[in-house]
Amino acid sequence: MTTTALPHPYRVTPARVLRSEWHKLRTLRSSWITLGLAVVLILGVGILMGTTYTSDGGDSDIDTVILVLYGSLLASLCTVVLGILVTAGEYSSGLIRASLTAVPRRLPVLWAKAAVFTVTVFTAMFATALATFVVAQLFLHDTDQAASLSDPGVLRAVAGNAAGTTLLGLIALGLGALLRSVPGAIGAFIGGVMILPEVLTMLPYDTVETAVRYFPTQAAGVLGSATPLPDAASPGPALLALALWASATLVAAAVLLRRRDA
């Protein structure tokens, strides 16, 4: 007599790991506070720029998308904090032990966190950037900053703005997994990603100046411009560089996750 083995009802699958990480993200109050604050900053600053802008104010040389989505500079700080909380926050609370016990292979937990974070943040940031641009243009339609989504480079820049904000947060997520400390990861991001490039630009070397163009914050700034920026990388290489920074951080976190105890 033979019996057929039935699939274990609690077998770990990629879909279940993703569902678990999505459940964690959406049920934490801090997730909605940080993401909601990012949305409010982008929309609020965009409307402020639209309502207060005048054609004779001296800002006519600023790219329209950069002007309207200026709040993204502040919003990116929120997504950075969110990315760090997604990983380092679990180490601080001790919840990571339960997660890694449920998923002994470990790496699917990190990949699921990164995937859920990327989809959630990009969707929210793109929808917000799109809405902000449309609303701001209601006030800018009779100025020299009037533009539409069908203008060359505008829709790409709106999407690029969301991609840049998301990838910066993904780098922070990787740093959180690497350092396992919320304050440590925030300090590392501020020092290594935001301040270090500014320090390097003071060095009198052309190669250093060229390399700094592909650092995360500089590359993210390029993605949100509808027109080419002087002395900056083009959007394609900038996006590739930013994606490589995020990938390198996550790979380093994955290597240490396999080698260290929770």
What pLDDT band is residue 115 in, cutting at 50, 70 and 90?
very high
Residue 27: is its pLDDT beyond 50? yes
What pLDDT band is residue 36 in, cutting at 50, 70 and 90?
very high
Residue 3: is its pLDDT beyond 50? no
Q: Tell me the range of 93-102, 142-151, 184-193 where mean pLDDT is highest.
A: 184-193
User: For residues 5 and 224, which has the higher predicted lDDT (pLDDT)?
Assistant: 224
Distance CA 104, CA 160 (A): 36
The pTM (predicted TM-score) of the whole model is 0.91
What pLDDT band is residue 262 in, cutting at 50, 70 and 90?
low
Residue the block writes with tokens 């301040």 = 195
Q: Tell me what percent of the residues of the chain surpass a pLDDT of 70.
A: 94
Distance CA 97, CA 83 (A): 19
As a whole number of Å, the end-to-end CA separation of the chain is: 45
Q: Each residue of 156-170: pLDDT tens digit?
A: 999 999 999 999 999
Distance CA 172, CA 185 (A): 7
Three-class secondary structure of residue 84 per DSSP:
helix
Average pLDDT of the chain to the nearest whole number: 90
What's residue 9's pLDDT?
56
Distance CA 200, CA 195 (A): 9
Distance CA 255, CA 24 (A): 23
Gyration radius from the chain CA atoms:
21
Q: Tell me the range of 35-44, 50-59, 86-95, 194-203 where mean pLDDT is highest.
A: 35-44
Residue 1: is its pLDDT beyond 50? no
Give the range among 28-32, 133-137, 152-156, 174-178 with minimum mean pLDDT: 28-32
Residue 54: is its pLDDT beyond 60? yes
